[in-house]
Amino acid sequence: MLFLGFDSSTQSLTAQIIEVVGDTASLVWESALNFDRDLPQYGTRHGVSPNADPRIVEAPPQMWAEALDMMMARIAASDVDVSSIAAISGSAQQHGTVYLGDAGFTRDRSPIWLDSSTEVECAEITASLGGDDAAARLTGSRVFERFAGPQIRRFWKARPEDYARTRRIHLISSFLCSELLGADAPIDAGDGSGMSLMRLSKAEWDPVALAATAPDLGAKLPAISPSDSIVGTLGRRWQERYGFPAADIVPWTGDNSSSLIGSGCVEEGTLAISLGTSDTIFGVMREPRISANGEGHVFAAPTGDFMGITVFANGSLAREHIRDQYGMNWFTFSRALHATPAGNNGGLLLPWFVPEITPHVPRPRAKRLNIEEHEAARNVRAIVEAQMMAMANHSTWMGVDVGTVYATGGASGNRDVLQIMADVFDARVFASPVRNSACLGATLRAWHAHARAGLGGAAPVSWPDVVRDLTAPDPASVVTPNPANAEVYASLRREYAAFELANTQ
């Protein structure tokens, strides 16, 4: 039996197919396409439409739909036996919204998670919800600029007529799932947690939050569904055009909830750090402990638990900025890490080359302490150390004793980066064997939901069994902390926190 998963990320669309025989899973097919390169007619750069205002970050939703079509065509043309595909799911960059009217899009550019233009709307919604704390207790997060609610409110204020003729507002995940279904798909509880509109404890739209956001919003949103349900079968268009079967469709979710599964972090105690366009740190929480100072989020997890997550916008964007500024490649970047000592002799860099989410830095600025801009190697070390220390400092709210970290994403292939991670967290770090945890999470969720529904005589499979074959790291890939370095970072983390605080007040 085959299961197909997609991940529509900021810059690309990936598809993976796993084969399950008995309870053994293997990856049998994978393909990716890049929005800038493969769909040049949309004129995106790094997957987004160029905009003179750095706070406005949008992308054309038509491009995501066309990418999905291109990928379905690729799968049909491959040597995969598509008739064996039993279920399909997906994940998409979280928070972005898609606006549909009776005759197509009512907004041809969708705001995405990198957008930070809704400061005013965040304040307005927060006030209606009774402040940051009340908002976090209700929805799992305080109201963030990129979240769907403030984005919808801004659209309603700026373009009330276009808002009025909008019949459906989807998340990117539920929009692409709808494309597969040929009908309106629900929003899953995991992705719904990133909207400032959902009551986390009950996974239902909250009437106060809806009213605080925009008029008639309840009627424009799809239903919320658990992420391990089956919401229909693959639409006829795909069956007729490409010969796909009527495979079960499992709701798409946000890339972070999907990555939780795809990185194998299905039990409390193991955290994942994903080094992607954004850097994220996340893990399962049995109880929804709320981030008191509002820096992290609690989302519904596909396992039925909760997940804690903290997001940093300056992930690979910032690493690439430094690499390019000093004319390096990843090899010379690594050499620079080797050539400099743990703690960088006290040199610190605040790595905010784009507006930062954690801590909240609306206007980009990089600031240095005890380090000069021309010192190339020290700046390379400073950016990696800053990112790791920020992740460690801003995830203590989860109350998880970090013993093990699974590192995923582009930069997790770099052992020098992982050593700094191990030393800063004073934890064992494994390079995850998973190259695209969000996409793999989608294929594994398709399998789990299909088995759970007992279709075709399938028996339910537990989450640890679902992730076992494809996410367990090679024990030999372990990077252990160096005790002397861990001591250096224990105190440097406090200095970094103070430097950060002094520059965000």
Does 233 engage in binding with ligand XUL (CB under 6 A)?
Answer: no
As a whole number of angstroms, the distance between CA 75 and CA 69 comes to 10
Nearer to ligand XUL, 126 or 278 (CB): 278
Exactly one of 12, 93, 117, 408 binds ligand XUL (CB under 6 A); that residue is: 93
Least distance in angstroms from the C-beta of 306 to ligand XUL: 14
* 442 three-class SS: helix
Beta carbons within 8 Å of 497's beta carbon, 6+ residues apart: 389, 393
Exactly one of 44, 257, 280, 358 binds ligand XUL (CB under 6 A); that residue is: 280
As a whole number of angstroms, the distance between CA 100 and CA 108 comes to 9
Name which of residues 256 to 275 contact ligand XUL (CB under 6 A): 256
Least distance in angstroms from the C-beta of 14 to ligand XUL: 13
Least distance in angstroms from the C-beta of 369 to ligand XUL: 28
Nearer to ligand XUL, 9 or 233 (CB): 9
Q: Which stretch binds ligand XUL (CB under 6 A): 66-74, 162-170, 248-256, 374-382?
A: 248-256
Least distance in angstroms from the C-beta of 357 to ligand XUL: 7
β-partners of residue 191 are none
Structure tokens at 476: 């030999």
Nearer to ligand XUL, 284 or 488 (CB): 284
Does 10 engage in binding with ligand XUL (CB under 6 A)?
Answer: yes
Exactly one of 148, 185, 200, 311 binds ligand XUL (CB under 6 A); that residue is: 311
Least distance in angstroms from the C-beta of 451 to ligand XUL: 27
As a whole number of angstroms, the distance between CA 14 and CA 89 comes to 12
Distances (CA, A) of 63 to 19, 60, 157, 244: 29, 5, 26, 22
Least distance in angstroms from the C-beta of 404 to ligand XUL: 21
Exactly one of 5, 192, 194, 308 binds ligand XUL (CB under 6 A); that residue is: 194
Exactly one of 6, 113, 430, 463 binds ligand XUL (CB under 6 A); that residue is: 113
Nearer to ligand XUL, 261 or 461 (CB): 261
Nearer to ligand XUL, 82 or 434 (CB): 434
β-partners of residue 29 are 17
Nearer to ligand XUL, 118 or 256 (CB): 256
Structure tokens at 144: 């963030």
Does 253 engage in binding with ligand XUL (CB under 6 A)?
Answer: no
As a whole number of angstroms, the distance between CA 422 and CA 354 comes to 26
The bridge status of strand 12-21 relative to strand 24-34 is antiparallel
Nearer to ligand XUL, 217 or 307 (CB): 307
DSSP class per residue in 86-135:
EEEEEEE-SS-EEEEETTEES-SSEE-TT----HHHHHHHHHHHTSHHHH
Exactly one of 12, 64, 105, 146 binds ligand XUL (CB under 6 A); that residue is: 146
DSSP class per residue in 236-268:
HHHHHHH-----EE---EEHHHHHHHHTT--ST
Q: Which stretch binds ligand XUL (CB under 6 A): 25-33, 71-79, 89-97, 157-165?
A: 89-97
Structure tokens at 380: 């390379």
Q: Which stretch binds ligand XUL (CB under 6 A): 124-132, 251-259, 338-346, 359-367?
A: 251-259
Q: Which stretch binds ligand XUL (CB under 6 A): 91-99, 160-168, 233-241, 491-499?
A: 91-99
Tell me the residue length of the chain: 505
Beta carbons within 8 Å of 45's beta carbon, 6+ residues apart: 36
Does 193 engage in binding with ligand XUL (CB under 6 A)?
Answer: no
Nearer to ligand XUL, 96 or 473 (CB): 96
Does 94 engage in binding with ligand XUL (CB under 6 A)?
Answer: yes
Least distance in angstroms from the C-beta of 439 to ligand XUL: 12
As a whole number of angstroms, the distance between CA 95 and CA 195 comes to 6
Assess contact for 94 and 191: CB atoms under 8 A.
yes
Nearer to ligand XUL, 259 or 379 (CB): 259
> Phi, psi at residue 7, to the nearest 5°?
-135, 115
Exactly one of 248, 255, 295, 416 binds ligand XUL (CB under 6 A); that residue is: 255
Site size with ligand XUL, rule: CB under 6 A: 14
Does 49 engage in binding with ligand XUL (CB under 6 A)?
Answer: no
As a whole number of angstroms, the distance between CA 262 and CA 246 comes to 25
As a whole number of angstroms, the distance between CA 280 and CA 323 comes to 20
Structure tokens at 205: 């739209």
> Phi, psi at residue 491, to the nearest 5°?
-90, -35
Residues that bind ligand XUL (CB under 6 A): 9-10, 93-95, 113, 146, 194, 254-256, 278, 280, 311
